[in-house]
């Protein structure tokens, strides 16, 4: 069960967020409204939510999930692979220290963004991507092992972050799409296949029994409901325009 979440209000510069998609430029007013509803959804799941002020110097700073990994035993500040995002880490550090005694850190040449890290119990799958390198994964695994947890790497080719195409719903249920459907390391899970036409919604988030699903993906809503979960849809379309998934708008722990 999760107790807390940290989010950050998007700044006006979010319109210049990094993107490899061509869904257009986010509308700032809509992004703010969607963020407020996202925070509401986290609260509905029973979380106490810390909403940090906008950080105007960093266009992508609302995607707080990438800058820290929050485990039950320690928090690990990352070293984002995107140079423009590296400075976000120092702005989340004080908040992380408010919740954790044990705070670790990934250092260069190691690079990680925690959107590449999926927690399954005490094990963490770490995607090797354009943002997370082997040195970063090695450091991450060493830190996890220090706290009696474990990690392993997963290669990925088609998507930005590991959790762009995967979402663990607990109880051995794993949402998966595209290249992740056939990866040997995930075959032990009950794979819930997300249709390629709804691929964005593979990044849905389990929180205390409810699954937050991005709005606009009826097929995904249906199969998650069929799997026995309560669903809360959240419109994050403005964030999708800059490759932001539902999970990356919060740290949950
Ligand atoms: C980026 O490219 O870094 C942001 N525009 C989106 C980050 C999305 N983060 C995530 O999926 N964990």
Dump pLDDT digits (tens) for 218-242: 999 999 999 999 999 999 999 999 9
Paired tokens of 153: 């790497």
Give the distance (Å) from ligand 1 centre to CA of residue 156: 15
Distance (Å, whole) CA 126 – CA 117: 5
* Ligand 1 neighbour 164 (Cβ under 6 A): yes
User: The domain spanning residue 180 has which CATH number?
Assistant: 3.75.10.10
Query: Is-catalytic flag, 161?
Result: yes
Per-residue pLDDT for 163 more than 90?
yes
- Atom 2 of ligand 1: nearest residue by CA position: 18
Percentage, residues of the chain above pLDDT 90: 98
The whole-number pLDDT of residue 22 equals 87
Give the distance (Å) from ligand 1 centre to CA of residue 248: 7
E-state strands within 146-204: 150-155, 166-168, 173-176, 190-193
Q: Give the domain extent around 152.
A: 4-252
User: Cβ contacts of residue 181 below 8 Å, gap of 6+?
Assistant: 191, 193
* Ligand 1 neighbour 18 (Cβ under 6 A): yes
Give the distance (Å) from ligand 1 centre to CA of residue 63: 6
Confidence tier at 17 by pLDDT (50, 70, 90): very high
Structure pTM? 0.97
Residue of 55, 59, 66 to test ligand 1 pocket, by largest number of atoms within 8 Å of CB: 66
Give the distance (Å) from ligand 1 centre to CA of residue 1: 25
Domain total of the chain: 1
In the set 35, 45, 62, 161, the catalytic residue is 161
* Ligand 1 neighbour 60 (Cβ under 6 A): yes
Overall size of the chain counted in residues: 253
Confidence tier at 111 by pLDDT (50, 70, 90): very high
Per-residue pLDDT for 132 more than 90?
yes
The whole-number pLDDT of residue 238 equals 98
- Atom 3 of ligand 1: nearest residue by CA position: 18
Shortest-distance atom of ligand 1 to CA 161: 11
Distance (Å, whole) CA 105 – CA 82: 17
The whole-number pLDDT of residue 1 equals 94
Confidence tier at 195 by pLDDT (50, 70, 90): very high
Mean per-residue pLDDT over the chain, rounded: 97
**What is the rounded average pLDDT of the residues 140-152?**
98
**What is the rounded average pLDDT of the residues 84-106?**
98
Per-residue pLDDT for 212 more than 90?
yes
């Amino acid at each position: 069960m999760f107790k807390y979440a940290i989010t950050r209000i998007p700044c006006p510069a979010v319109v210049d967020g990094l993107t490899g998609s061509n869904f257009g430029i986010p509308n700032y007013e809509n992004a703010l409204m969607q963020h407020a509803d996202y925070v509401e959804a986290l609260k509905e799941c029973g979380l106490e939510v810390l909403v940090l002020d906008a950080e105007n110097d960093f266009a992508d700073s609302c995607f707080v999930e990438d800058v820290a990994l929050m485990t039950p035993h320690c928090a690990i500040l990352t070293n984002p692979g995107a140079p423009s995002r590296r400075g976000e880490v120092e702005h989340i550090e004080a908040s992380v220290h408010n919740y954790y005694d044990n705070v670790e850190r990934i250092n260069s040449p190691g690079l990680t963004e925690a959107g590449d890290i999926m927690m399954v119990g005490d094990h963490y799958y770490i995607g090797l991507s354009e943002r997370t390198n082997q040195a970063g994964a090695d450091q991450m695994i060493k830190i996890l092992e220090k706290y009696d947890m474990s990690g392993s790497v997963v290669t990925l080719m088609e998507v930005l972050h590991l959790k762009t195409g995967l979402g663990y719903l607990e109880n051995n249920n794993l949402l998966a799409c595209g290249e992740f459907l056939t990866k040997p390391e995930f075959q032990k899970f009950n794979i819930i296949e997300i249709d390629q036409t709804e691929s964005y919604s593979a990044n849905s988030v389990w929180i205390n029994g409810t699954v937050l699903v991005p709005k606009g993906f009826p097929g995904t809503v249906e199969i998650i409901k069929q799997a026995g979960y309560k669903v809360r849809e959240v419109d994050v379309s403005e964030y999708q325009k800059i490759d932001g998934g539902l999970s990356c708008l919060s740290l949950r722990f």
